Structure 1
């Protein structure tokens, strides 16, 4: 080769490398600090502060028969508020063929068929114990595209290359539409959606109407009140592969004409503003909550107090009010892991917590793959997960990069950050109650039993598939778990009763078991647990989980009680723990976990129940503080052990030899109770 051409080639190579280095690290989309943020001003968005013994009257917002049985002291109802079917554009290409009607039938106890690999006999699954309530929350993004690609002859886009790839399935089929949710500025596929996205909007309206009709048909409006459904969807913001998804749950079937999408509302503030105007203000019977989920995969961004850095003070305050008004609950566990806490964060002063790494799939020091789609040229790279620092925040888009891990990725840390926000701005944007759910993509709500779990997506429906090599994100396989359940204390099983309690945060989450925990703050005698009317006195002289009160200058007590899962195969309760979080006078964050009752004869109040009255000796009324109750069962087999051990040794797949935990403790978490110090 001529030396001049060689030098030219070398120069071109160096130029291309330099250009890639520059363009793959240059932020493409800058944040718009002039964006208008809609404050939550409707009556339905007014902040609710609860006094001791507060109990609002239940009123129906829809036409239905009154429930025959009402529970004045509340009953625990179990459900799943995170369920996907074939409508979701990441489920259908995988092989899922269950739709909302099937998911609701399954939740009521009917069998449904699961997709299985070719050559595997048909597989049918059925819940042993039906659920009390369910919301099908298919992804709003690509809802119309999926309909066009599934239904020949309905729209011209059916014949597009994108739809062809979608129908062929597998990872390429999933990525054809869902990859857009990982971009800073997602777009629709014009070959599918047509001019001005008109076809996709029409198709989305068809799907949305069918989802509403399915929920209405499955809802028991008779006086029996055996099963409730909620109309909902998932808003799927996955910027740079960080999960900032939200489940949108409406109180009834009076809902907007279309679900909101990340494509149309690319910022959280625009989404919540849309929910305020299109539902709470514009439709008299409409109310809605927005549930953040899977924050352990958010890379520091789900509960980031700096998300609106650079905006006006008024805009930032409006957003804090938005989150307080709409984020009434948060998901603490699902199949992609548990988001309660993790040990070792530098910004939280705490002893090591024995349960903090329960079903954790992201850890500091763990190798992971990071993606950056916010730059001019996307790049994928390997990282050793580290704790988020100030220089990980990109000020051009107010986003943490590099797939770091923050204490605010976990609900315990986010709750502490909320106390700090309240201290400085008089509004707590991270003041949420707690639930669990499954995030099934098979249309199998509530399938959370370790021994019989059939996986999360289609290629996990065999044991070999569940035990396979994991990829963080969708294909979690061995790292995954069956997910959890949402528990709600309500006076009856109707939409209005359940939604009222969810909005008031009288809710709890479990890791899949049906433990029923109670948690109150009030003025209680030490022997309350031994009194027959203890529950009546608990409400009469106090207020339940989810409540927010001013700091208490007089002595008060925390009442904690839990009943074991009544199923014969369920383990008994091991202990009750109070988790306390507070800010000291210097603003430092603290956590303390205290065992207040163990399964000993002196603590038993009946068959399988634990109860304790606890006075915090270190409570300081001048400090913002929260408490929640955590309940632990005795040790049991994790699904990966239970399902392998159920087979003869010669029939066990190779994946049965693995490094996952063999034993777990099923957990339950109540919503917190906040005690907020008065201004000096």
Structure 2
């Protein structure tokens, strides 16, 4: 019987090269695309999901999904498909790009285990493996429990031998990966829909989430020269070495996107190297190079900020409920001090602190959202939410049900968020353009709505710039989101434009979040309300902008756009600028209150929900930061 677990292919210093020594024609682009006409500047945000799981993921199949990569691609581009539970599923608006990020560990393994003859599993002589096999065949609840046990075993380094020996898995991994890449090439249509290769690296020491999505720029002529790198390793440096080896061997490009830092128990954004050693220049440079973007929001909570670190930020509690008291499998509680390594805003501040000390910022990253859906359905829409996994697809029981892999209590279905999405400012919809937008950090996150957010930073922007070609002015006299400014001795100014989702809710306000290092070397933060709807009637009181109001009908799961506004635009200059100060600035856009998916379920199924269920939220967007660096003489 062929081994059922997929892992890495060893070659040299853990390069995971599928055909070691193979080369590619450097005269080719490697993206598998022809020539299309590109705009002079990035012309619009292209919308996508960089974190979707199909039946090739060990946990997704165990949870019950029976849709593969081809169904996922069809759904993302706008086709109607049938969900695993039998319902019709279709996006109201297609996505522009998709990364299917199935787990590198156990690629296709649970599907192969499920399909294997029971006698073959018995012959392997492992009681745990046989028990999991039987549980998967008993029904959805037992299958979820089996996968919960499997994930915990992987986190504790206790997988059965048949599942943990990478040398036994090369054939299966290479076969599945190659077929998947062929599928991506078939669905990749430059200018219309971009299918990018990727996988999820699932590093999870002690159950603490240090996962990354790896995303490739290239077509199968290059990506077939590697197989996905395993997550059952000690730290992420091996992943970065794998990516460097891929680039050197193929001439291609890859990047990694950390996600669910909120479940890392403080390990994702440490002030030290993993294990407690001092942060080194080499480590910081490597991380900054290969991880230019983080996933700040997704189904398993929002990782932008937390009230523990940001008590003066009235919007800092979004997406925290249910996710801030323990790690991913709830094998360890989260202490308050751990929160500092869990959240992106604090990481951006820590990056400034580290840069002040060693001259390199390991956490100078942009921000995106994605779903992390394990249903093969990439939807971040509240009224079209198909859940985290198939047991969480639309039903009358999903919102109040315990959601801890069938084995634990403490998190419930309604804690899941219906989000998010990644927006990439690009000159056209191609692999190269989308990837390059991520690499230069000209991307932003939303919790699901498709609002348009554009930010430029410079030193001489004024309100008059809006009367002309302000986009050209932004690119020629400043930098876009994700860029860096060198301190010129005067306060930086920012052109900020936010437009509502054309099919969604009005906007409440635009805020700038600033982080900086003060004169004592301490990291600080402040949230500025820059512009908001109905400014005359909503004048600040006690330094705060009054709440925008709430039009949500809790009995009908509807709202109206009688409050808020469709567009907010401002030129803003930092009123607290100090020359020589190292700082970052990012923009947060807040919508008016709208119904959450649980309220749609309540109305759709006529159900009663627990009193503490959050039925309404104010969805949002987060831009990538712009960094202000000291002048050359001060650095």
* Structure-1 separation of matches of 2:78 and 2:43: 24
**What corresponds to 1:429 in structure 2?**
362
**What corresponds to 1:239 in structure 2?**
205
Q: In structure 2, which of residues 388, 391, 398 is the aligned counterpart of residue 466 of structure 1?
A: 398
**What corresponds to 1:652 in structure 2?**
606
**What corresponds to 1:361 in structure 2?**
321
Q: Using a 3 Å threshold, how does the CA distance of structure 1 residues 438 and 155 change in structure 2: closer, same or farther?
A: farther
**What corresponds to 2:622 in structure 1?**
669
1:520 is the counterpart of 2:456? yes
1:639 is the counterpart of 2:597? yes
* Structure-1 separation of matches of 2:498 and 2:470: 13
**What corresponds to 1:140 in structure 2?**
104
Tell me the secondary structure at the aligned position of residue 463 of structure 1: coil
1:337 is the counterpart of 2:324? no
**What corresponds to 1:584 in structure 2?**
518
* Structure-1 separation of matches of 2:296 and 2:248: 30
**What corresponds to 2:235 in structure 1?**
267
* Structure-2 separation of matches of 1:177 and 1:363: 21
Deviation at 1:623, TM superposition (A): 1.7
**What corresponds to 2:169 in structure 1?**
200
Does the CA-based 8 Å contact 2:54-2:69 persist in structure 1? Answer: yes
Q: In structure 2, which of residues 458, 482, 485 is the aligned counterpart of residue 546 of structure 1?
A: 482
Q: In structure 2, which of residues 256, 264, 284 is the aligned counterpart of residue 320 of structure 1?
A: 284
Does the CA-based 8 Å contact 1:37-1:319 persist in structure 2? Answer: no
Deviations for 1:96-152, whole angstroms, at most 9, x for unmatched residues?
A: 001111100000111222233xxxxx3111001000000000011111533532444
Aligned-residue Cα RMSD (Å) equals 2.8
Q: Using a 3 Å threshold, how does the CA distance of structure 1 residues 155 and 619 change in structure 2: closer, same or farther?
A: farther
Please say which of residues 470-479 and 236-245 is displaced more in the overlay: 470-479
* Structure-2 separation of matches of 1:179 and 1:623: 45
**What corresponds to 2:335 in structure 1?**
386
Does the CA-based 8 Å contact 2:281-2:359 persist in structure 1? Answer: no
Deviation at 1:272, TM superposition (A): 1.2
1:572 is the counterpart of 2:539? no
**What corresponds to 1:614 in structure 2?**
572
Deviations for 1:287-323, whole angstroms, at most 9, x for unmatched residues?
A: 1111000111110001112234565x7x833211111
Does the CA-based 8 Å contact 1:149-1:167 persist in structure 2? Answer: no
1:559 is the counterpart of 2:495? yes
Q: Using a 3 Å threshold, how does the CA distance of structure 1 residues 180 and 80 change in structure 2: closer, same or farther?
A: same
Q: Using a 3 Å threshold, how does the CA distance of structure 1 residues 321 and 157 change in structure 2: closer, same or farther?
A: farther
* Structure-2 separation of matches of 1:133 and 1:427: 32
* Structure-2 separation of matches of 1:199 and 1:37: 16
Tell me the secondary structure at the aligned position of residue 511 of structure 2: strand
* Structure-2 separation of matches of 1:463 and 1:81: 26
Q: In structure 1, which of residues 599, 606, 614 is the aligned counterpart of residue 533 of structure 2?
A: 599
Deviations for 1:425-477, whole angstroms, at most 9, x for unmatched residues?
A: 111111110000000000011x1111221211111113333212334579741
**What corresponds to 2:5 in structure 1?**
none
**What corresponds to 2:146 in structure 1?**
173
Does the CA-based 8 Å contact 1:149-1:164 persist in structure 2? Answer: no
Does the CA-based 8 Å contact 1:142-1:178 persist in structure 2? Answer: no
Tell me the secondary structure at the aligned position of residue 669 of structure 1: strand
Deviation at 1:93, TM superposition (A): 1.5
Deviation at 1:609, TM superposition (A): 2.2
Deviation at 1:65, TM superposition (A): 2.1
* Structure-1 separation of matches of 2:116 and 2:274: 44
- Structure 1 unpaired stretches of 5+: 1-35, 39-58, 117-121, 373-379, 389-404
Larger radius of gyration: 1
Deviation at 1:517, TM superposition (A): 0.5
Does the CA-based 8 Å contact 2:32-2:185 persist in structure 1? Answer: no
* Structure-1 separation of matches of 2:170 and 2:158: 13
Q: Using a 3 Å threshold, how does the CA distance of structure 1 residues 181 and 272 change in structure 2: closer, same or farther?
A: farther
Deviation at 1:63, TM superposition (A): 4.2
Tell me the secondary structure at the aligned position of residue 531 of structure 2: strand
Q: Using a 3 Å threshold, how does the CA distance of structure 1 residues 245 and 617 change in structure 2: closer, same or farther?
A: same
**What corresponds to 2:4 in structure 1?**
none
Q: In structure 1, which of residues 448, 451, 454 is the aligned counterpart of residue 383 of structure 2?
A: 451
Does the CA-based 8 Å contact 2:201-2:213 persist in structure 1? Answer: yes
1:126 is the counterpart of 2:90? yes
Does the CA-based 8 Å contact 2:205-2:234 persist in structure 1? Answer: no
* Structure-2 separation of matches of 1:134 and 1:190: 34
Does the CA-based 8 Å contact 2:508-2:592 persist in structure 1? Answer: yes
**What corresponds to 1:227 in structure 2?**
193
Tell me the secondary structure at the aligned position of residue 65 of structure 2: coil
Does the CA-based 8 Å contact 2:461-2:495 persist in structure 1? Answer: no
Give the length in aligned residue pairs: 566
1:280 is the counterpart of 2:247? yes
**What corresponds to 1:623 in structure 2?**
581
Deviations for 1:360-379, whole angstroms, at most 9, x for unmatched residues?
A: 13577x5x58979xxxxxxx
* Structure-2 separation of matches of 1:326 and 1:158: 43
Deviation at 1:343, TM superposition (A): 1.4
* Structure-2 separation of matches of 1:473 and 1:561: 42
Tell me the secondary structure at the aligned position of residue 331 of structure 1: strand
Q: What are the residue-to-residue correspondences of 1:470-481 with 2, within 5 Å?
A: 470-471=402-403, 476-481=412-417
* Structure-2 separation of matches of 1:662 and 1:370: 24
Does the CA-based 8 Å contact 1:341-1:407 persist in structure 2? Answer: no
Tell me the secondary structure at the aligned position of residue 47 of structure 2: strand
Q: In structure 2, which of residues 113, 125, 133 is the aligned counterpart of residue 149 of structure 1?
A: 113
Deviation at 1:620, TM superposition (A): 1.3
Q: In structure 2, which of residues 36, 42, 51 is the aligned counterpart of residue 82 of structure 1?
A: 51
Q: Using a 3 Å threshold, how does the CA distance of structure 1 residues 439 and 309 change in structure 2: closer, same or farther?
A: closer
Tell me the secondary structure at the aligned position of residue 589 of structure 2: strand
Deviation at 1:556, TM superposition (A): 3.1
**What corresponds to 1:503 in structure 2?**
439
Deviation at 1:643, TM superposition (A): 2.9
Q: Using a 3 Å threshold, how does the CA distance of structure 1 residues 82 and 73 change in structure 2: closer, same or farther?
A: closer
* Structure-2 separation of matches of 1:236 and 1:191: 19
Q: What are the residue-to-residue correspondences of 1:20-169 with 2, within 5 Å?
A: 60-68=29-37, 70=39, 72-116=41-85, 122-143=86-107, 145-146=109-110, 148-152=112-116, 160=124, 161=130, 162-168=132-138
Q: Using a 3 Å threshold, how does the CA distance of structure 1 residues 482 and 468 change in structure 2: closer, same or farther?
A: same
* Structure-2 separation of matches of 1:154 and 1:230: 36
Does the CA-based 8 Å contact 1:505-1:671 persist in structure 2? Answer: yes
